[in-house]
Amino acid sequence: MIVEPAPAKLNLALHVRARRPDGYHELETLFAFVADGDVVTIEPAGAPGLTLTGPFAAGLSGEGDNLVLRAERLFRARVANGAPVAILLDKRLPVASGIGGGSADAAATLRALARLAAVPIDDPRLVDCAEALGSDVPACLLGRTALGRGRGEVLLPLDGLASLPALLVNPGVAVSTAAVFARWDGIDHGPIGAGDPLAAALAGRNDLEPPALALAPEIADVLALLQAQPGVTLARMSGSGATCFALFDSAANRAAAAQAVRRAHSWWCLETALAGRQGLSHGDSLAA
């Protein structure tokens, strides 16, 4: 049995630079990862197929196919053609919420299958699989702080991001990524700055926040509540929403903010922290 974490991804900043002829958008984004997320378990001796569990399993139960199964098929087609395996996905993160849940699950599946087949994690065929699966999957496969360019798949690993306490909040509204990108204003507001990742994030922005707010005004309520909490270093929407995050100067202030959110709303709320060390190794575990 192989257990692989699929930690949530945060876009500390997300700058949309241009629309591309291929239909994608040219991006610059600061990827970071937290200490919690979904968990993928592979059992080679089990009945082949995907089993879903966890608080958000129902959000995927109607899918005939998903990124985890596509990752398995692509791995067997391009990397190592082993027998199909039993996969258990413990779905702890909200579905389609801007924190890379599906992409993280696909990346964790690739890492787990690589372990099973004794394929090195830096094998370029894994990166090829990740790029074919989606724009965020390469960053989730890397699993460490990085500056992403292109669609987000051109990655420059970064050092210097501390293990800051983080609070993730989702108001329970569905936001279409395609609809959010379609409402982008088309204006290049400039690149992400160089230097320390946190300083660059603080000086940056998420260009998808305005169109997401137009589609889901509840996001504005989340941001306002987070920004009003003591000890907040940065509060912003992640990805195309609707999950927002806040980074705090202390675990005590994060806990107090979580209590304030839970008192005021029935929103999904996760107390966690940015990944303290750069990158995740095979077999790293997540908090329950």
The verdict on residue 56 lying in a domain is: yes
Distances (CA, A) of 29 to 38, 71, 138, 199, 256: 22, 24, 13, 14, 29
What is the mean pLDDT of each successive set of 10 residues along the chain, which is 288 residues long? Answer: 97 97 96 97 93 94 83 96 94 94 97 96 95 97 96 93 93 93 97 94 98 97 98 98 97 98 98 69 35
Residue 136 is among the residues annotated as catalytic for this protein: yes
CATH number for position 220: 3.30.70.890
pLDDT for position 50? 95
Residues 119 and 247 both lie in one domain: no
Residues 130 and 225 both lie in one domain: no
Residues 6 and 128 both lie in one domain: yes
Which of 157, 182, 202 marks a domain boundary? 157
Can you give the residue range of the structural domain that contains 266?
165-273
Residues 6+ positions from 239 with CB-CB distance below 8 Å: 9, 11, 14, 98, 99, 100, 136, 177, 208
Residues 149 and 184 both lie in one domain: no
Residues 136 and 14 both lie in one domain: yes
Residues 82 and 147 both lie in one domain: yes
pLDDT for position 63? 67
In this structure, the number of other CB atoms found within 10 A of the CB of residue 26 comes to: 15
Residues 92 and 13 both lie in one domain: yes
pLDDT for position 161? 84
**Which listed residue (36, 38, 105, 136) is catalytic?**
136
Residues 6+ positions from 88 with CB-CB distance below 8 Å: 40, 41, 42, 43, 50, 51, 53
Residue 128 is among the residues annotated as catalytic for this protein: no
Residues 37 and 88 both lie in one domain: yes
The verdict on residue 32 lying in a domain is: yes
User: pLDDT, tens digit, for every residue of 180-215?
Assistant: 999 999 999 999 999 899 999 999 999 999 999 999
Residues 144 and 174 both lie in one domain: no
Residues 137 and 215 both lie in one domain: no
pLDDT for position 278? 39
Distances (CA, A) of 160 to 3, 29, 143, 200, 231: 28, 16, 15, 12, 20
Count of domains observed in the chain: 2
CA distance 151 to 176: 17
Residues 36 and 59 both lie in one domain: yes
The full DSSP string for 39-69 is: EEEEETTSPSEEEEESTTGGGTTT-SS-HHH
**Which listed residue (9, 36, 90, 207) is catalytic?**
9
pLDDT for position 285? 33
pLDDT for position 64? 67
